[in-house]
Structure 1
Amino acid sequence: MQVKPGTSWQDAYDRCCEGAPEAFHHDRVLNHWGGFWQRDGRPAPVFSPVDGTAIAGPPRLDRAGAARAVAGAVEEHRRWRHVPLEERKARVSAAVESMAAHRDLLALLLVWEIGKPWKTARADVDRCLDGVRWYVEEIDRMAAGRAPLPGPVSNIASWNYPMSVLMHAMLVQALAGNAVIAKTPTDGGLCCLTLACALAVREGLPFTLVSGSGAELSPVLVAGRSLGCVSFVGGRDAGGNVAGSLSDLDRRHVLEQEGLNCWGVWEYSGWELLSRQIRASFDYGKQRCTAYPRFVVQRSLFHEFLGAYLEAVGSLRFGHPLAVAHPGDPLPELDFGPLINASKAKELADQVDEAVARGAVPLHRASVESGNFLPGQDISAYFAPVALLDPPRSSPLHHAEPFGPVDSFVLVDTEAELLAAMNASNGALVATLSCDEEDTYRRLAPDVRAFKVGHNRPRSRGDREELFGGLGASWRGAFVGGELLVRAATQGPDGERLPGNFPGYTLIP
């Protein structure tokens, strides 16, 4: 096995330096603020989760540097908010088409920086670009009667979807008339985001991209009074800290936090379909906010469910996303690659071992060595699928999202138990009920505390016109998706109540 020629990290970085020399120097990546690429900050050493290769690290700013960057964004916002919509549409469209011309390089950077398989990485890029094209077509009706926010939008997002979530939101926020600030996710995505920003800035979009620790930059990127909106995507602990910083500010905010998304199985018989759905649920190793790590199953059906589940996980393929046997071979079609880093893999292994020691029953535990790897490569960031029956209540696997290929099963005998188990995390983004009868679904679904509940099918963030949000502790602030993403980034009439989950009210669209 070997890395396919032309896809090495050095190949990818050299192409960045050639394609955007203003943003990529031979020895480091730059920040962008105040309308210029800045060789500031302190680059940190970073290693790819794919095989331990040293890759470009984020140029971390201190708080004072971030404050200067925000001040520059505020100045850009004052100008950009008065740019006519037709011109904004033209510039955003030009940026999208420039990114489309660099689609495979953006995808290759996602492979190296966050471990996405090739097919998944390209899909992430495509979802971003296709989604923004739709917004360009629909923005006139969405923005009618609305105005840009009073200050720029500050984005702090997790590392798992740099293009289809973060860059997508940035482009739509700019389309709506706002200058945009983004902090590079600490754990990955630096070069992909930097290249995309470089292409956008060339078309005149008011983007600021900086790196730094959340704790150091939060007082500026979250609590700064000149900001018009704070948009956060990440875990509940970090989201709680952001919410605390916003608690005394009358500030637009969108805080997407994790929830334990559950799949309930009740009075069901479609096992072949469910087996295919279970395999698909392992996309990107379940490192997704809409992954399903918990299955709540009717006890009398568990033997049939387990057969369908084991058939699905037995066919999963994982390993090095760029490893081929011969130079001319296509890149492997994998269900997932590594986790985001070796620390996360160890954390999950420790949680599984602790849960088993306290009584959980391991029903499936694959071997990491069964993956598709280069000879002697570093595999410390890889984690093979695990399934546990009844993790103890003291375990994080009982009440929190593992963000990796670890599933847990809970058996129930009544509908009341089913609903209680599915609502264990006090709110989720998505949920699914597999049940044969539509009437059964309609009776149970309203009591599942998730923003979207699917019947015999998984739910996701969605694209284009589909709305997205969360119930309970999984979401704070304005909902997004479809026209709600534009409404969250603009001002409407006085007294407007945005759909969302706010301290004083919850308004479901």
Structure 2
Amino acid sequence: MAPTLTLKPGTDWATAWRRCLAVAPEAFRDERVLNLWNGAWHADGDPLPATTPVDATPTAGPPRLDAAAAHRAVRASLDQHRAWREVSLADRTARVNAALDALAEHRDLLALLLVWEIGKPWRLARADVDRAIDGVRWYAAGIDDMLADRVPLPGPVSNIASWNYPMSVLVHAMLVQALAGNAVIAKTPTDGGLACLTLASALAAREGLPVTLLSGSGGELSEALVRAPEIGCVSFVGGRDTGARVATAVADLGKRHILEQEGLNTWGIWNFTDWDALAPQLRKTFDYAKQRCTAYPRFVVQRTAFADFLEHYLPAVRSVTLGHPLAVADPAGPLPELDFGPLINAAKAKELTDQVAEAVDRGAIPLHQGALDPGRFLPGQDTGAYMAPVALLNPPPSSPLHHAEPFGPVDTIVLVDTEAELLAAMNASNGALVATLSCDDPATYERLAPQIRAFKTGHGVPRSRGDRQELFGGFGASWRGAFVGGELLVRAVTEGPATGERMPGNFPDHHLMP
């Protein structure tokens, strides 16, 4: 009989919240968080109720501002920006490094907040914090050369990001933008990460960094955070629908922009036999329930290789582990090593479950439909946000799973007979961030890879977002604006001496690939 699980002592939400109140009392008050603007914390906005996806425990909800308040915050950020751009680079670097030291000191609390707020397993939550800290330290060490002959933008950088990587994407970007001489504004994601971002922003603000952190709906705040004349650059990470509206706005206004949007990342199998090399990578594609911009939810497989593919794919997907990320059998033992915990909320789990059922009704063939293991959850806990892995063969063209990124643990497998079919299936979403093609012959890979509409394509290995000097962007509709990474991230939020400087990126009139 499996042992009954219990919550790891000291990891409950109430304890995490008390630690936030103790570490940053200026940013947390009683049962709510505050907004940060004009260099001070404000108990404004209308706090919404919220629950954790882990087990539906009530948590602090976002204190949502209205449009007028957001405009006031943006105007105040411009004043901060004008003062900050006059601060010496040596002083900026020292303050950013001090903020990084504070983040490192509170690394485990930041990670625990990520577990509760967005459901990341402990291993991945700590990695998210570490990547943010280590990545910005790399920039701080080399910023002198990156900023040679460059100056900050005329106005602050506005950041609107998805909830899945609050530290290694959003906080990382904010600190590099500040290092380059800009004031930074960030909107807290609607779905999660509020307390983590608030704590990180409090630690940065204490060191004098010009950070603004606001909560509110995209519709209410977009006029201020995207269209306001004070904004010097818009950095967006999210879906294509919202991204398209932002892209239209920044194009009309001629603003600097970095718009990372969704794309259906695909893994192709063509004239391939090295199955022992592929098998270990298949399970890793389920890290964090594929709630990543560089996840691989689509496999395009040569029909003659389908039996061999299934022989290795099915054991991998059946070995995936999920459950309560803080539940243990031994209170003195380590936290569980899981591939993933909950999805971001119960509504997302239901949406995907319904899409799977609809696809099957319309002809998709279920190859694997996992089930939750009661032995990996607390007795009687709410599991509404959890979903076990699913694999479907040939989803119908009428299904969203055929052409859109599911952002959850649902794989679709498409069989093809020709190279033309392979490429068409791999390019189903008109642009992706990453792709992989597994084939034995290097010459075949070199011939087919340029025809795959992805920014990065791996030969038999997965590609990731990367960081530090590695460039990142997108192809087609998966990206708009400047590419980032290394010197290009700094260039995207600064101005050079050349008039009419053309940024490497995916713009309407040109697309410069690295």
Same fold (TM > 0.5): yes
Q: How many residues align?
A: 509
Q: 1:260-275 maps to which residues of 2 (within 5 A)? A: 260-275=264-279
Q: Report whether the alignment pairs 1:106 with 2:110.
A: yes
Deviation at 1:488, TM superposition (A): 0.5
Q: How far is 1:148 from its partner?
A: 0.3
1:481: Cα distance to partner?
1.1
| SS of the residue 2:247 aligns to | helix
- 1:476 to 2:464 alignment: no
* Structure 2 letter corresponding to 1:326: D
CA distance in 2, matches of 1:270, 1:87: 53
Give the drift of 1:225.
1.1
User: What SS does structure 1 have at the residue aligned with 2:252?
Assistant: coil
* Equivalent position amino acid for 1:501 in 2: N
Is the Cα–Cα contact under 8 Å of residues 393 and 412 in structure 2 kept in the other structure? yes
Give the C-alpha shift of residue 369 in structure 1.
Answer: 3.8
Aligned residue for 1:381? Answer: 385
Which of the numbers 364, 375, 394 marks the counterpart of 2:368? 364
Whether the aligned pair in 2 keeps the contact of 1:91 and 1:203 (CA below 8 Å) is: yes
Secondary structure in structure 1 of the residue aligned to 2:253: coil
Q: Is 2:511 the counterpart of 1:506? A: yes
1:146 aligns with 2:150: yes
Amino acid paired to 2:302: Q
Q: 1:85 to 1:374 in 2, by over 3 A?
A: same
Query: Contact 1:318 / 1:371 at 8 angstroms: preserved in 2?
Result: no
Matches within 5 A, 1:7-406: 7-369=11-373, 372-406=376-410
Superposition TM-score, scaled by structure 2 size: 0.98
Q: Tell me the distance in 2 between the aligned counterparts of 1:209 and 1:274.
A: 43
The aligned amino acid for 1:495 is G
1:111-138 Cα offsets, whole Å, 9 max, x none, are: 0000000000000000000000000011
Equivalent residue of 2:227, what SS? coil
Encode CA deviations 1:377-402: one digit per residue, 9 max, x unaligned.
00000010000000000111000000
Distance in 2, matches of 1:206 and 1:88, equals: 10
Residues 347-392 of structure 1 show CA distances to partners (whole Å, capped at 9, x for unaligned) of 0001000000000000000012456100110000001000000000
Provide the rounded CA distance (Å) in 1 between the counterparts of 2:448 and 2:215: 45
Are 1:28 and 1:56, in contact at CA under 8 Å, matched by a contact in 2?
A: yes
C-alpha displacement of 1:311: 1.2
Match of 1:427 in 2: 431
- Conserved? CA contact 2:430–2:476, under 8 Å: yes
Q: 1-side partners of 2:139 and 2:176: how far apart? A: 7
Q: What's the RMSD between the two structures over aligned residues?
A: 0.8
Asked if the contact 1:435/1:456 (under 8 Å) is kept, the reply is yes
- Which of 1, 10, 17 lines up with 1:6 in the alignment? 10
* Among 480, 494, 507, the residue aligned to 2:499: 494
CA displacement at 1:438 relative to structure 2: 1.2
Is 2:184–2:212's contact at 8 Å kept on the other side of the alignment? yes
**Counterparts of 2:480 and 2:275, CA distance in 1:** 36
Cα separation, 2, equivalents of 1:117 and 1:371: 17
Q: Which runs of 4+ in 1 moved over 4 A?
A: none
SS in 1 for 2:402: helix
Preserved CA contact (<8 Å) 1:67 1:220: yes
Question: 1:133-168 CA distances to partner (integer Å, 9 max, x unpaired)?
Answer: 000011111111111001000000000000000000
SS state of the match for residue 315, structure 2?
helix
Q: Secondary structure at the match of 1:119?
A: helix
Which deviates more, 360-369 or 160-169? Answer: 360-369
CA–CA distance in structure 2, aligned partners of residues 395 and 236 of structure 1: 17
Cα 1:371–1:187 change in 2 (3 A) is farther
Native 8 Å contact 1:117 1:334 kept in 2: yes
- Counterpart contact for 2:250–2:256, Cα < 8 Å: no
CA displacement at 1:245 relative to structure 2: 2.3
- Is the contact between residue 317 and residue 371 of structure 1 (CA under 8 Å) also seen in structure 2? no
TM-score (norm. length: structure 1) = 0.99
**One-letter code of the match for 2:198?**
T
1:124·1:163 contact (CA, 8 Å) conserved in 2?
yes
C-alpha separation in 1, matches of 2:437 and 2:466: 18
Q: Is the 8 A contact 1:317 1:335 kept in 2?
A: yes
- The one-letter amino acid paired with 1:225 is P
Following the alignment from structure 2 to structure 1, what is the Cα–Cα distance between the partners of residues 425 and 163? Answer: 29
Q: Structure 1 unaligned runs (5+)?
A: none
